[in-house]
Amino acid sequence: MEDIEYFYRVIENRRTVRKFKDKPVEKEVLLRLIKAAIWAPSAHNAQPWHFIIIRSREVKERLAISMGEKFREDLLANGFSKQECEKRVKTSIRRMISAPVLIIACLTMRDMDKYPDERRQKAEYVMAVQSVAAAIQNLLLAAYVEGLGACWRCAPLFAKKIVRKVLNIPEDVEPQALIEVGYPDEQPLPPPRKPIEEILHWEGW
């Protein structure tokens, strides 16, 4: 009974943490996070994931600055003022560098099924995305029980080429997410959830 309560408490109490203490995260702990990630379910058990752990300040900086250039380009295209763009890019770079650890979650279609038609190939790709997402969720939960905080960020999706280049990622491997990890320096309140009645449908919509 206690185990069940603990399990649901972990799921409910995990929070996205965006401020971290300036304290390194032990390698063994990071390995446990990846171990938790790879026990996620995956389509055909293809395990279409790879993870890149970044702890070096130099690599974080190179990645953050290069991604910042793409971010600036996108913001300018959105019509933001130059000043606003610079402010946002600077915040993004500072945030990435100040996270003690960055984990890049990647997707590969190498071991997924291959289809001759677009409809089934697209579905197969979605399955790979869903599998990687399941792995990331396991990682976030593991981080929480280890006393760490983490934030799942979508930024690499908007700068795939740049992330690939900076981190030397092969052409057939796609960066999907960046997870900032560290010991938490904030205790965020839980963002509200939609009421169950609003999103749950029994026996059809």
Question: Residue 116 or residue 192: which is nearer to ligand FMN going by CB?
Answer: 192
Residues of this chain that bind ligand FMN (CB under 6 A)? 15-16, 18, 151-155, 188, 191
Task: In angstroms, give the least distance from the CB of 130 to ligand FMN.
Answer: 12
Contact between 46 and 111 (Cβ < 8 Å): yes
The beta strand positions in the chain, using DSSP E, are: 49-54, 101-108, 149-153, 173-182
Q: Rounded distance, CA 153 to CA 187, Å?
A: 18
Task: In angstroms, give the least distance from the CB of 157 to ligand FMN.
Answer: 9
Question: Residue 42 or residue 176: which is nearer to ligand FMN going by CB?
Answer: 176
- Closest-by-Cβ residue to ligand FMN is 16
Task: In angstroms, give the least distance from the CB of 203 to ligand FMN.
Answer: 28
Contact between 55 and 24 (Cβ < 8 Å): yes
Question: Residue 18 or residue 62: which is nearer to ligand FMN going by CB?
Answer: 18
Question: Residue 31 or residue 126: which is nearer to ligand FMN going by CB?
Answer: 126
Q: Rounded distance, CA 102 to CA 69, Å?
A: 19
Task: In angstroms, give the least distance from the CB of 27 to ligand FMN.
Answer: 25
Contact between 179 and 102 (Cβ < 8 Å): yes
Task: Specify the length of the chain in residues.
Answer: 205
Question: Residue 162 or residue 168: which is nearer to ligand FMN going by CB?
Answer: 162
Q: Rounded distance, CA 21 to CA 32, Å?
A: 20
Task: In angstroms, give the least distance from the CB of 194 to ligand FMN.
Answer: 12
**Phi, psi angle pair for 5, to nearest 5°:** -65, -40
